[in-house]
Amino acid sequence: MREQEAEARSQTAFDRHAATYDDDIKGRHARTLYPAVMERLARLRFDTVLDIGCGTGAVLDLITRHDPNVRALGIDLSERMVQRATDRLAGRAEITLGDAKHLPFDEYAQRLTAPLTLLVDDATLTFRMLLQRLPSLSDVESPDDPSYEAFHRGSSSWIHDLSSLKVCSIMVPHVAEAIRRANERGETCIEDCDAAASFAVFGQMGVLLDTTLDKKERVERIQAFLHRLLDI
């Protein structure tokens, strides 16, 4: 409740100051940071940029004027800040009203899980065949996807980690149903299919996010563990 109240106060404050934020004392500190931000960005190569808490769109304005070909995305909790940013950028950026803690991962997660759920839902496959054929999350992600670019750059990698959790939440019920089918066919004997599915899916993340291991080793470790976990 306290967190919600703090967010509401913050939203109200930024709504109140949106009209003058670019010029008055309320936005002075932010304005002093713009040169440092642009200097840092000048050393990076990117096609997509996501500004979380974009405010009036000042930084996205600087970025898109410097490189009109950059895909610019912004999200802010304040409706009036979003309106200011939208007016300011005039089509040069995609501005969304929303909470940074609840970024719109659904579309990206659905794209990632589509080939996975198609395979998991195939009732003609034995569970062993399914584990052998099922690709890892890293296999279905494409660097050509604009969301991949936005989620994998430097300090924005935390967004990718959150999107991975969204992917897992989509996959769990499909995997649980696959385990139930395996039980019915006598391939496995697991009492709590939902818990097993949740553990099998979410439990992969620690290994998948361990960059000290190469991709092949990560996948092999996960497959070996799942074979033992599910007793197949």
- Classify domain 2-102 by CATH number: 3.40.50.150
Q: What are phi and psi of 113, to 5 degrees?
A: -85, -15
Domains 2-102 and 106-229 share a fold: no
| Domain 106-229: CATH architecture, name and number where available | Orthogonal Bundle (1.10)
Q: What is the chain's pLDDT, residue by residue, as a tens digit (232 residues)?
A: 566 776 778 788 888 888 999 898 888 988 999 999 999 999 988 888 989 899 999 999 999 999 999 989 898 989 999 999 999 999 899 898 877 766 656 777 888 888 899 999 999 999 889 988 888 766 777 666 656 665 655 545 556 666 778 888 999 999 999 999 999 999 989 999 999 999 889 888 888 777 788 888 888 888 888 888 777 6
Q: How far is CA 91 from the centre of its chain?
A: 24
Residue ranges per domain, the chain?
Answer: 2-102, 106-229
Q: Could you give the C-alpha distances from 128 to 46, 176, 178, in angstroms and in order?
A: 41, 15, 11
